[in-house]
Structure 1
């Protein structure tokens, strides 16, 4: 801030006594002192506040002001609470040394002056940093950027402003990771996604451990609806309570993050074309050589220097309902960035409705992924973990269903893996939940047969068999359906089932008998047990 700001509207009521021509001096700090010789404690640029207790004779003023001028102080504010009005000898000494002199009335506390100066300095610094961030954003847009971490470090060091760039999966894109643990990141992104789903106006606000946080979207394309893929800027504090200049800094930083995201996405354009090529080849009866070339090209792009090819690849077939076109592809690309070391190929694909695989390109509601098989764990578990935070951004009618193949060691085996992934996705579709993932281990189960049955047939089968039991439970506050489920899980063992339900065996026999009366089936017959088991599995 400049000395002139001490006389502006809204400033403490100070009176300028001398120094009208020196008001452009820059104030960088405040020092309160009544020492006779404070020069050794000054570094230059300070506004000095004094109660004039150092003055015992008129000549003391000359010595005191000379020390201030030589040490680089830019202005002197003398308080009138202790010794009364500012003496003429101090005014004359300040005029000789061209030192602006302000009188502090006795009803104005030094603390309020220091607080005002601190706020002004912080606001000026925020404005300077906002301009710096804007220049950095233009640099990112023009020549490819220099990364976000350096800017966030600058803000943290100069303004004590903690901020982070997060992916919607909770992945840390930039920022100090030790100051925002993984569990806190996930809470922030869930809050942000839920607010975006409600179409709440940003900034979105959250609280962690009693402290406020502000969340600003940083979409790569403001016109596209892709909240499940867009980065967000998380800032410690409530930006709605900040000064205008500090809020401008936050807005500029969000634009910088969006520019960096655009730069990153532009660098993926070729990789997307390779993914679409692989997707097209998988729809053909042949094409193993072409798939191999595309995979080799993708590996060559995945990092500097020679890359070790994956031991095996897996295929993921995905479909979404309720999401804008292309949203699933973008979400999977973002989610797999860290997990697959940016080696995943994510393509748009036709919606899988059980039709032939040569149906042609889809409308963007489907996606096909080819990624290296993880060294630990299963790909299905990995996807469940990565996508779990995205559920907060899905509406009641929105769904994501994914099917994962077994690993394929050769490019020629990827078409079979794709078919396997498509069948697994139908298993996921038959389940309840907004994000469902099925793996290859489930393809040898009765679940595959259930998934292949049309929805209306499955619903009718379950209704005819179990509705009488469910109606009885509702009308009599009974527990026949839970009893049936426990009996089948106990493999028809009376003693094991009764122990699990904490009831007497005779009570269990009564309940099973009631189920048989209501349905006309016999749980002693294997065929009827299988029907009951399948009907419960369809619930």
Structure 2
């Protein structure tokens, strides 16, 4: 029931002293009798407070009592005048200032009559709400069974409850809304709040400037933030507390079917793209097979390609969201992109020719995603552009190396140029498979000889190279006679077909040992 219904009940003898516009249409949930100086801990939105005004005579009592009611956003204050005679002008002025509806009650009517009237109406309303919720559940079940979409479910909910809400998916994208679309800043703020919250339901009170200052109730649809959320402005409907245990649960249950399917699709998609990157990095399939898989994804294996590697400085930030951010950014630049995340690192294969009129990548990502990032830093390592599939493996290594070496405080940091300062950095850009293959080609004869004869040719070579080819120092470090060392080195040269006295051959052996040792 609303305040106007109480006013229309002549037996209660209520009269309006002060009321904000449309205040009489506010729904009343319960009635509470008190003369406590600060009853705020017992009150909530939708309450009517009845008081005899004993707090009026205390120092600061008016400000304390009226302030407590205003903070809790109660529906109205009813003051009995038997003890105080008339309502002081200070009370009336402060109620008007704080937007609090002020009523008086006839001297012959007890507060209990108002409490009983509200309780009776609430009981009837709950019975009606339960019946309406059962009907809503039936209609939503029918909609889900025939493949009803998220917008359709929101429309059904609005038809029964008269509320207007919106749904955000697990990567922070607004996918449906009933009524006016929420501002992107509000969507991002609510999505981030739900993502950090331990409880499935949160009230977002700090909605940001320009959002009307209206708190939002957000409910996680699934067991984790990856499943998305449904949100409703608290001030848009007075019935929300009741809906929280009835129709809203029904809506969340129906939406869960759609959002869990979307989360499973993202997981399957992630595995599919991750397997492609695994094949590229490990040379597990032929270039022809990789080309075929790229064509299935709508990519041109002979066209221009780039690899991006990315991470967010907040491990709790959804990797799926990072993938979505980068895919949208590259698509907006006229390119095709498929991404995945593996062990917290995002990898994106970018294909096609970039448009000429695009801003710098960091600027574009920041412009589109700064709201969702909410102060977090996103770092992107970008490989050079290549043609064909044969150089995709080193491109992945380059992107990862540039990601690891990037430094800076920018919110979106893109590293697209790497200053190679050592042979180790250069070798890491080749990829694991290339390094392992090179080490095997050069050192396999030594490894096999050591295994057959129990010799230590590889260890001898490693010590010789570490000692910069100094014979005496190497012999002492190995506790060998110099002639024994020379015999071993001659055997190494014979097996590897490299002359350690020639710089190019010594470099071959040095790099092979570095690759074998994992750089």
TM-score (norm 2): 0.47
TM-score (norm 1): 0.45
